[in-house]
Amino acid sequence: MRIPIGCALTVVVATMSDTRVATAGPEWVENDDAGSNGSNAQIVFGNGPLTKIRGRLGVSPLQGGTVDREDMYLVRIVDPARFLASTDVSFGGSADFDTQLWLFNFDPIRPNPFLGILGNDDAPGGESLQSLLLPNATDKSGAGVQSPGLYLIAISAFDNDPLSEGGEIYEQVDPTEISGPDGPGGTLSQISWTGNSPAPRARGSSRRPSGRSA
């Protein structure tokens, strides 16, 4: 049992069947706990397009009060141009905390198998603390989802950011940018997190969307 933080992540990633990974449709519910990196990410499997992931972050009293700060899922993106992931109610998602979303490569045969691709804190537009990932970065990194395949998608609360051995993978100059992997650690595989954010918190005067979507 983990209590406080609920979220539903709208994900449009897969449009075909006949594969074990990431064509679960339409909804995937976190099973036990999704891990925090590419080696323990939860595999999303099934048939049909995946439209939503439901999960929880927060304190686990049954696990000694440890805090689960991030969840990562392995999904298949079939049509990169249609990729969208969001916790914002405008896109069918929901969360009761200030979310961040992250996308990584999943390429286990390479020396750096979990390279960062995209990250966002607050959806472009500036009215929401919820997050939005689209196929391409909005900063000057030129990053984007280039080809169909397996990818890792992760959710964390602000300001818990992904790390490689080189440091932070993303440079979030503006909270509303969809960032490419332009941080000092951006050329290396994700291995951990900054861990900042034991509990969700709101920032500024933006309205905090509440409730959990259907």
Binding site for Ca ion (CB under 5 A): 33-34, 68, 71, 98, 121-122, 129, 139, 158, 171, 179, 182
Q: What is the dihedral of CA 88, 137, 113, 44, to 10 degrees?
A: 30
| Tokens read off for 167 | 């440091």
Residue 74 C-beta: closest distance to Ca ion, Å: 13
Closest-by-Cβ residue to Ca ion is 179
Q: How many CB atoms lie within 10 A of CB 5?
A: 21
Nearby residues of 45 by Cβ (< 8 Å), 6 or more positions away: 20, 21, 22, 23, 24
Q: Which is nearer to Ca ion, 49 or 183 (CB)?
A: 183
Closer of 49 and 175 to Ca ion (Cβ): 175
Q: How far is the CB of 143 from Ca ion (least distance, A)?
A: 9
Minimum distance of Ca ion from residue 70's CB (angstroms): 6
Closest CB to Ca ion among residues 98, 168: 98
| 187: three-class secondary structure by DSSP | coil
22 or 101: whose CB is closer to Ca ion?
101
Closest separation between CB of residue 59 and Ca ion, Å? 12
Nearest CB to Ca ion, comparing residues 122 and 168: 122
- Tell me how far, at minimum, the Cβ of 51 lies from Ca ion, in Å: 21
Question: What Å distances lie between residue 165 and 32, 77, 118, 152, 155, CA to CA?
Answer: 28, 27, 18, 18, 20
Q: How many residues does the chain have?
A: 214
The token pair that represents 154 in the structure block? 């992760």
